[in-house]
Amino acid sequence: MSLRTMNRVVLAAIVAVSVAPLAGQAPAPASDAPGGARPAAAKAPAKSKSYSAPRTPWGHPDLQGIWNNGTVTPLERPADLADREFLTDEEWAARAKEAAGRAADRPDDPDSDLALAYDNEWWDRGAPLKRTSLIIDPPNGKLPALTPEGQKLVAARAAAAKSHGPADSWEDRPLQERCLLYHGVPAFPTGYNNNYLITQTRDYVAIRYEMLAETRIIPLDGRPQLKTPIPQWLGNSRGHWEGDTLVVEVTGYNPKTTFRFPVDHPTLRIVERFTRTAEGIDYRFTVENPTMYTRPWSAVLPLVKTDGPIYEYACHEGNYGLANVLRGHRYEEQKAAEEGKREGR
Amino acid sequence: MRMRFCPSLSVSIGVATPLTIALWAGIGSMSVMPASAQTRAYRAPRTADGKPDLNGIWQALNTAHWDLQGHAARPGPVVALGALGATPGGLGVVEGEDIPYQPWALAKKQENAAHWLERDPAVKCYLPGVPRVTYMPFPFQIVQSADHVLMAYEFANASRTIFVNGKEQSPLDTWMGWSNGRWDGETFVVDTSGFNDQTWLDAAGNFHSEALRVTERFTRTGPDHLMYEATLDDPKVFTRPWKIRMPLYRRVEEHAQIVEFRCVEFVEELMYGYLRKRSGN
């Protein structure tokens, strides 16, 4: 979970505790909370009649606290579930059991265990949702078709990636490996540390990320986006309340920002919606990127309350991995060059 | 330029009416008053839970980041940067001027200073620790809630969560420490410990050990001023606790915001350049 350097026994205990409530499931799961069974409307989250969100003293719905969005549910619907928006209860239970038991059910053979990069005690991926994909619109759970210019852009990026080796420099490595950007906006869950602290005032919502210990700040004061936004890795956020929903518009991304899906940064506009529910926070976002996609698309990433605190995640300060990846590649090149010389003789 | 940050001091001096004279006299006498007296002189606006409102974007305007102690301007180590790379001179922020190092520690401080670029962790975009993060030449934003206060800094995208009336201690050493806060009248008092020994206090080689405990006091002294005090207690390095003190200024520009300073990408050539693939490899 959070304390990466604690000893493994303690870590395993934390992971087990944090996963148990999700796998155990509250009665009558609803909407898009993990295990939720109710179909979600494409735009507005389904409203529970009996539920009324707690309020801040100034009357805004209270989103404050520590939340986790870890899930093993994929962005796009897998081919074998192509015609189904939801898993059956049995399918969901089997997946939840598998996800919850990963730390305990480690491979017996140490080589297989280590081949998981970090071993299974490390991971904290979260529970599966009841739905088969995070994408809720288009209804087939897949990213929409790319525009012709989007296709060209994707092909050009693939060609550029092929024009150099996998680790000629740090710039060829993923942003996460460089400790430059991790969960981003929208914050996509990864294998661990999917925890967020939300703090509110009348004028701002701040979201502190466990990963990289950074804070995203969303002004609510109605300030306009700049005509030429200052490119930011997390984009430029502008928020406002629509009834009980916090709506945030994000534009002006740094062109080097990467996402779990292809984007064309200059025309990218993401609209997020945060709504407090009995189960947590219904979080959904719509991607509008007309030069990349033939239509807007939407996905959900529900947040569930979790216990804190969040500990420091200092990534760059101890980033031995990046230097070692580069060093390994240089070593192999040197070895290949020496062998080439020997064979040439 | 600097006046932009402290509009309350830009009182009209064009016409010396009795009122402006009285105002100036008031400011003059306030500046020699102890902190507690100043605190009584200004009552900050309140948050919804009745606490002094520290929300805002704040920045130090001094040279503490370069050297906590008084120092003349000096040339910088990067020849190509010329005048722009030189270190500006400035008054110190240390109460009583001296930092009470143990003899071995003073020698290490001087050695650190002589090897500034190789040793200063902030050169590598490492989290700058507390209190240094407060007076880096970058703004930070306070987002204040009843049970915790968030401080989000531009430099290295660092942030701190300060738990109001928190009792928990850090279970291990960290770069930014573990902060518990409490309200003492007009002042937000923050106790931070759980540090590692890797951060510095400025760019002049001032340092600490993992035994450091920092007690910070944030007190609003005006609409756009936040007085900052930090007492540093580290029995492994210093002979007694010592204190720094400086005003922080509100960034009053319209739509002021924290702009990312994600400096990792600015130091990769410095840190990993020797591992870049060379042509002909």
CA B243, CA B142: separation in Å to the nearest integer? 22
* CB within 8 Å: B48 and A206: no
A232 CB contacts (<8 Å, ≥6 apart)? A252, A253, A254, B259, B260
Contact A33, A279 (CB under 8 A): yes
Contact A133, A76 (CB under 8 A): yes
**Greatest extent of chain B over all pairs of C-alpha atoms, in Å:** 79
**Cβ count within 10 A of residue A41:** 13
Helix, strand or coil, per DSSP, at residue A248: strand
Contact A128, A95 (CB under 8 A): yes
pLDDT given at position A103? 65
Would you write out chain A's pLDDT as a tens digit for each of its 345 residues?
A: 444 333 333 333 333 333 333 333 333 333 454 443 333 434 555 555 678 999 999 999 999 999 999 999 999 999 999 889 999 999 999 999 888 777 667 777 777 776 665 656 667 788 899 999 999 999 999 999 999 999 999 999 999 999 999 999 999 999 999 999 999 999 999 888 999 999 999 999 999 999 998 999 999 999 999 999 999 999 999 999 999 999 999 999 999 999 999 999 999 999 999 999 999 999 999 999 999 999 999 999 999 999 889 999 999 999 999 999 999 999 999 999 999 888 876
What token pair was written down for A58? 């100034």
Question: Which residue does chain A place closest to B198, by CA atoms?
Answer: A317
Contact B242, B100 (CB under 8 A): yes
pLDDT given at position A26? 34
Residue B143 at interface with chain A, using a CB cutoff of 8 Å: yes
| DSSP class of A222 | -
CA B193, CA B233: separation in Å to the nearest integer? 10
Q: Which residue has the tokens 């190092």?
A: B101
pLDDT given at position A101? 75
Give which of A164, A179, A317 to mutate to test B binding, by max B Cβ within 10 Å.
A317
Strand partners, A245: A242, A275
**Cβ count within 10 A of residue A308:** 15
Q: Give B34→chain A minimum CA distance, Å.
A: 32
Inter-axis angle of helices A320-344 and B264-272, nearest 10: 40
Q: Which residue has the tokens 């990046």?
A: A322
CA A209, CA B152: separation in Å to the nearest integer? 11
Q: Give B136→chain A minimum CA distance, Å.
A: 17
**Spans of chain B, pLDDT less than 50:** 1-33, 37, 39, 281
* CB within 8 Å: A215 and B159: yes
Nearest-CB residue to B260 (from A169, A170, A233): A233
What interface predicted TM-score (ipTM) does this complex get?
A: 0.85
Strand partners, B90: B71
Nearest-CB residue to B268 (from A178, A200, A230): A178
Q: Model pTM?
A: 0.85
* CB within 8 Å: A170 and B268: yes
CA A158, CA B55: separation in Å to the nearest integer? 45
Give, in order, the Cα–Cα distances in Å from A54 to each of A58, A59, A278, A327: 11, 9, 10, 53
pLDDT given at position A141? 97
Residue B196 at interface with chain A, using a CB cutoff of 8 Å: no
Strand spans (E) along chain A:
65-68, 135-137, 195-200, 204-209, 215-219, 236-242, 245-251, 269-276, 281-288, 297-300, 304-305
Q: Give B167→chain A minimum CA distance, Å.
A: 12
Give which of B159, B169, B179 to mutate to test A binding, by max A Cβ within 10 Å.
B159
Helix, strand or coil, per DSSP, at residue A71: strand
| Partner B, chain A 4-33, Cβ-Cβ below 8 Å | 5-6
Give which of A209, A313, A316 to mutate to test B binding, by max B Cβ within 10 Å.
A316
